[in-house]
Structure 1
């Protein structure tokens, strides 16, 4: 059995506006890469798969396509990566240098940049000297210059009162004639007006949400999906309900008065997912840019009723599980009561919004929950310590296996050389007449069969050897994370953030803890199980 090799073609295009489908630039990149692969005989052995990011900046690696690619690389499934040029993979020259000089060589991954004429097989753990390093620096500087130009262009558009976001707010849609202008969505506008009307009558956000849920009014998320919008909203669970936060988002949006409001957040650089909130006095507000849904008077009246009161910090104690405790039914984050830690509890607020909700009505004591979680962490630490010992045993055996397999390959390769020599000798005997034609053909056929079987044997052993090398490089950072808190008797926020992703509550008697880096843990479990099973096979008589 031959080793399966996979070549990953990676394409990327950064664009300001989202387009439907793939752009021509992505198509051109794909055609260039396919042509290069076809014209390179040494790449014909690879199975080709594609990873694509259409509409993502190259200033960072927070892209779905490149994330999926790197995950496959870490899993040992990719042998070669090919890109049009280095800027397609990324524009940060430091990060690219790390991948080309350290990460990819360590994982045994070949990297090819077609237009840069770079092939990592031509270099030994370097980026190819000054030429490639200089190109990376130029790409990075170009990206920073482009970032500043994009900022300036955006600000000009904001000051003109143009709509620059990808998706229109609920109650509006983009004008078919001018995508930079908002027009009223005749179906959703009635719901927006009704929300403001109920708010003006004195109903609070919870009451408004409950009424809309009782009447089965689609939420903005559901409505957008029904209209064919593929925007990825931050929602959880299989159902979506009106919440007080949904209502408040609409009530506090000044765009419903006909004003265009931009510049609420500012990113440190173009492509960054982390924005900084800008003071309201610095927002760019342009009046009369589109049709108003509510009057200035009604909006001002509602703002006065719903203005957020100045919060007074009552408690200074650390709350290690805040944001991690979630309802096991609806999967929303559970609310924490505004009370001291000794009496605080978590509860699911869905019953305030949805009649006949199946979510738990139990109040989960924070003190009890923290003690339970801490106890489970201690047990998980014991599991990790046992796992570490098993991994050490498997690695010890794996090192022994590598030595054994290497020696077996050497011996069989020696036998293969002898078979090929005997094939040459048979031909020489046939040529000098000491072996007749019929005997020579029969001998040649038999030796050819033995050579084919020996080649297959070597391929199987090389596959096993490569597998051992990959397994020995399994990450064990999750074990180190748990060991760091061995003996701790208090659950700190640092501990909870490092170890726990979520805690799902199904009532006062049942919880489920989802650990961080569970994919890494499962790979370790599979590694140990495979190592144990392989050792049994190797020791069988």
Structure 2
């Protein structure tokens, strides 16, 4: 019965479609959804339609045809539920010349649907309007022009340090200044816990499981409880179901140091809104803009360890704090963790590439865990003693080169970089003024396009040199910051009595394990410890800083002693 009534009422039914995007707000109140509705109702009634049904899309660009209201209207039209479509003007249907052309030239005539575009004086019941295709073309050009100007505007804002994206989990926009982020303490506590657990040796999956056990809301669920609408896939998963990918993402965000990172993604054109990962060299970074959630030293330590804390398990699921830190000195492969089948208390590592296990390495590089613990703890104690008793010598050994020469070179590069950046910002200001003059009609579109090309070419040349200088400065800065961090961390463990996963993760990058060699009837095991930020360090031969004296009985009563491997010259 309902379907019969619909067919009967088709000739009295008109669909009224309203659309508004951010661009249309520039045109004033006349483009608002409410005013479009008033206009379309008035005209549709004047033309004899009594059953009026509205379809609207608010805040959606006309460049895309995948708009919820528009798609729903097309489906209803395909089912024959209306005889006419009313819009304020042709641009309401869309700003895609090809797609709107298909709609007006094929779809609507094929379904015997009348089209009325009020402001453009289009009414297909009164005959074909030859200007309609031209209007559709101009509507697309308008979208292209607006997109170009918005890109310039976004570039100006992004290069001025204004955050271009939404604040990450742990931050919210400042209610008094939406261009500034402030710490959301409840979420920030979770972020800090994730970083702390990473330094303690836990991997992303283990952290995700711990947060789920403690019923911590995921970022998406957390935002939803506070009425914040954020993009992303909203799956039908429990609100406390954390994924390791979410943990990994949180651990990668430099924004938690208080920095603003702009232009991390880009879109290929105004028609394709898909965001693409930008090359890291094209990012624009402003440091210490807002309060940090995680201090920079902690963030740097986590970045050093990411991808290196591989908690390989035995078949029984057991892990060890040295997993992921040991590499074969001969073939470079990781050492894998095992325990003795006959005596599970004996735990050891050997080369994962050993030919006896179908690899190519000629030696096992077998090393006991208890031996490792004694040696590494002894070396750390030796290092901290060196740092405290011979501070100047320690700093010199860590630096490895003349700090004064490095600083002079850094200042010279920074001065040149600042000069180039100043010119780059000056060009951005010129862009800004040109954009305003163009909108106001003081500069023609042709002149605007010519001047834009001229300045873009100059900025392109500047960008190449700035990129090179920044890479060199960042490298020197990371080395300097890393050195300072390492010195501070070493002093923190002056009174260490026990080796812990966090101590290993904060101090050691990796350890090269050499094959044990027989010397004077005793097997000597050589290790090369590579510390975070500085690599392996040569400690002077000082009587008060003896090497750890470790001698252990291994399998079948074989004695193994420790000897520090000499660094390559």
TM-score (norm 1): 0.52
Q: Is the 8 A contact 1:11 1:26 kept in 2?
A: yes
1:58 to 55, 62, 66: 62
**1:4 and 2:9 aligned:** yes
Q: CA deviation at 1:62?
A: 2.1
- Verify: 1:209 aligned to 2:208, yes or no: yes
Check the 8 A contact 2:116/2:122 in 1, yes or no.
yes
SS of the residue aligned with 2:9? coil
The SS at the match of 2:42 is helix
Partner of 1:266: 266
Q: Which moved more, 1:135-144 or 1:218-227?
A: 135-144
The residue matched to 2:178 in structure 1 has which SS? Answer: coil
CA distance in 1 between partners of 2:237 and 2:300 (Å): 36
Matched-pair contact (CA < 8 Å) for 2:96–2:136: yes
Q: 1:331-346 alignment to 2 at 5 Å?
A: none
Task: Say whether 1:194 aligns with 2:199.
Answer: no
Q: Structure 2 matches for 1:131-530, cutoff 5 A?
A: 131-165=131-165, 167-240=166-239, 241-270=241-270, 272-307=272-307
SS of 1:151 mapped into structure 2: helix
Q: Does structure 2 retain, via aligned residues, the 8 Å contact 1:10–1:52?
A: yes
What is the alpha-carbon distance in structure 2 between the residues aligned to residue 269 and residue 75 of structure 1? 34
Give the Å deviation of 1:301: 1.4
- How far the C-alpha of 1:95 sits from its partner, in A, is 1.5
| Cα distance change, pair 308–100 in 1 and its aligned pair in 2 (3 A) | farther
Q: Distance in 1 between matches of 2:237 and 2:31?
A: 36
| Alignment correspondent of 1:362 | none
- From 20, 24, 28, the equivalent of 2:35 is 28
CA distance in 2, matches of 1:304, 1:111: 63
| CA positional deviation for 1:272 | 3.0
Change (3 A) 1:252 1:238: closer
Residues 249-286 of structure 1: per-residue CA shift (max 9 Å, x gap): 11111111111112122112236332222111111211
Distance apart, 1:39 and its partner CA: 2.6
* Secondary structure of residue in 2 paired with 1:187: helix
Asked whether the 8 Å contact 1:56–1:271 carries over to 2, the reply is no
Unaligned runs of 5+ in 2: 310-569
Shift of residue 235, structure 1, vs aligned partner:
2.5
Q: Is the 8 A contact 2:258 2:288 kept in 1?
A: yes
2: CA distance, partners of 1:308 / 1:62: 44
2:110 aligned residue: 106
Q: Matches of 1:119 and 1:307 in 2, distance apart?
A: 64
- Cα 1:63–1:251 change in 2 (3 A) is same
Scaled by the length of structure 2, the TM-score of the pair is 0.50
Show the counterpart of 1:80.
Answer: 84
Q: SS of 2:155's equivalent?
A: helix
Deviation at 1:292, TM superposition (A): 0.9
Question: How far off its partner does 1:72 sit?
Answer: 1.9
Q: Which residue of 2 aligns with 1:535?
A: none
Equivalent residues of 2:159, 2:284 under 8 A apart: yes
Offset from partner CA, 1:7-55 (integer Å, 9 cap, x none): 221111111799xxx9971112112112222332x223xx222111111
Q: 1:16–1:259: structure 2 CA closer, same or farther, 3 Å change rule?
A: farther
Alignment size in residue pairs: 298
* Cα separation, 1, equivalents of 2:24 and 2:267: 17
1:213 aligned counterpart, secondary structure: helix
Query: Which one has the bigger strand percentage?
Result: 2
Between the aligned partners of 1:29 and 1:17, the Cα distance in structure 2 is 12
Note the aligned Cα RMSD (angstroms). 2.3
C-alpha contact 1:159 1:286 (8 A) present in aligned 2: no
CA distance in 2, matches of 1:37, 1:210: 59
- Secondary structure of residue in 2 paired with 1:183: strand
> How much has 1:149 moved relative to structure 2?
0.2
Tell me, what secondary structure is at the counterpart of 2:285?
strand
Counterpart of 1:43? 49
Deviation at 1:215?
0.3
Retained in 1: the 8 A contact 2:20–2:31? no
Where does structure 1 lack aligned partners over 5 or more consecutive residues?
310-541
Tell me which of the two structures has the higher relative contact order, counting C-alpha pairs closer than 8 angstroms and 6 or more residues apart: 1
Corresponding residue number in structure 1 for 2:355: none
> How far apart, in 2, do the equivalents of 1:34 and 1:194 lie?
57
Measured after TM superposition, the shift of residue 150 of structure 1 is 0.4
Judge conservation of contact 1:57–1:270 (CA < 8 Å) in 2.
no
